[in-house]
Amino acid sequence: MGVLLYLYWILAHSNSFFYSLEIVKAHFSQIAMKHFLPFPNLYRGAKERIEDICHKQVWEAERTIQTQFKMEKIIYCQDRLYSGRLNEVRSAVAKPTNPASVSIQTPAPTPMQISCDEMHYHVQAYFKSLKERLSNQIPMIIQYYILHEFSEKLQNQMMQLIQEREKLNTLLAEKTDITRVRDNLSNQIERLTAASHKLAKFHC
């Protein structure tokens, strides 16, 4: 049953899973571009770490989800929760869908039919509990690995990267055009300052 449930989940939710992953990856990439783009080496290092962590976190999330579905081979539900779901199923079946059908006389069910109906109620109750459990557990696993742990690992790796003193100058090397523009602006400021001083002396 665990394998079938996992295959069903893959078919039903794989698109949304990878869509969420792409959103998170794109968000971190935009942050890296906003802050590190003037420093090509640092930006490249950030992008490489984002991609590397992304692949690892996907693997971890998929492995944990597979483990979760393997655990579903064990038929388990807390008694209180299971009893509540069973009562819900029985109430739903007992409630007539067509009020006119209440007046129609139906033959008394045989012991075999009662037994089959009761088994059907239990199966429905269990799968209702299973659906609720997985609908909460799987998104939590994805959020933990793809968002929480992703950001935590990226932060740690970026801190390690900038603490490598022998590489710091290389990482903080600016783009050639940015350096040239800054030097030109600096020279212009010096010339304007010098011209301002000369004009002040001329006025005097």
Does 122 reside within a domain? Answer: yes
Domain count along the chain: 2
pLDDT of the residue at 178: 61
Residue 197 belongs to domain spanning: 176-204
Same-domain status, 49 and 32? yes
Q: Looking at residue 118, what DSSP letter applies?
A: H
Please say whether the dihedral angle defined by the alpha carbons of residues 85, 87, 88 and 90, taken in this order, is positive or negative.
positive
Residues of the chain predicted below pLDDT 50: 2-3, 7, 11
- pLDDT tens readout for residues 50-74: 999 999 998 998 899 889 888 888 8
- pLDDT tens readout for residues 150-165: 989 999 998 888 887 7
pLDDT of the residue at 177: 65
Same-domain status, 115 and 203? no
Does 105 reside within a domain? Answer: no
Same-domain status, 199 and 135? no
pLDDT of the residue at 136: 86
Same-domain status, 50 and 150? yes
Same-domain status, 129 and 147? yes
In this structure, are residues 127 and 135 in contact, taking their beta carbons and an 8 Å threshold? Answer: no
Does 80 reside within a domain? Answer: yes
Same-domain status, 141 and 188? no
pLDDT of the residue at 3: 46
Same-domain status, 76 and 150? yes
